[in-house]
Amino acid sequence: MADDIPDLVLGISEATESVVFVEGSEQINSLRQLISIAPGLLHPEAAITLAQAVNHIEHGTDYRVIDDTASYEARYRAKLEKEDPNAAWQEGVLRLRDHGIPDFDDIKAPALSGGVLTYFAEDNYLGLPYRIEFDTANPGGDVIYSAVPVTPLPAAEPAPLAPNPLFVGSNEPLVPSDDYGGLELAEEPLEIDDVGEDDEPESQ
């Protein structure tokens, strides 16, 4: 059956449309036309090739078909490792950590069953996964892209506070020093005179 799977070339037309060339045929820019010209794509063994063609016609280079799930998981986790977990959210800064992590066991290679093509793709901006369904019996219908649920990552542990340079681990008081205006330990605790209720300030 592999010999019946047509060779496809993904490209862009002069009008900047996403098109597919099937074994040197005229450029194809609709799924209905694709299925009509290349019925061999409806065989289950052609699922990856069909997914790439459907994805290209529908969204061009906005998404990439996930045909190697282990490689995708490794790249996703590597991106997370490079992100600073303590960095605050910033508008316009795209981070996987601000979204979460998917259940990678749910992400499968393209498959065609019962006339329905199911595949997963990652967006080209951040790498978030999407689940896509295409009913080959209705090639003029909608191709549904649904975001794969992600689980928020736990908040990062707060960084420990820096030690206070004035804390010396002693109960002895600090007094001004003539040495560079710094502080030094007093030899004896400072005494503060009690002011009685009957004490009166000295007259000027």
Q: What is the pLDDT of residue 1?
A: 52
The span from the CA of 89 to the CA of 12, in Å, is 37
Tokens describing residue 76: 């996703």
Asked if pLDDT for residue 147 goes beyond 90, the answer is yes
Q: Please give the pLDDT value at position 87.
A: 81
Specify the range with the lowest mean pLDDT, choosing from 81-85, 91-95, 108-112: 91-95
Specify the residue for token string 């794969």: 148
* C-beta atoms surrounding 112 within 10 Å: 21
Q: pLDDT for 158-176, tens place per residue? A: 656 666 665 555 555 555 5
75-89-99-124 Cα dihedral, nearest 10 degrees: -50
pTM of the full structure:
0.73
Cα(88)–Cα(80) distance, integer angstroms = 15
Is residue 178 over pLDDT 80? no
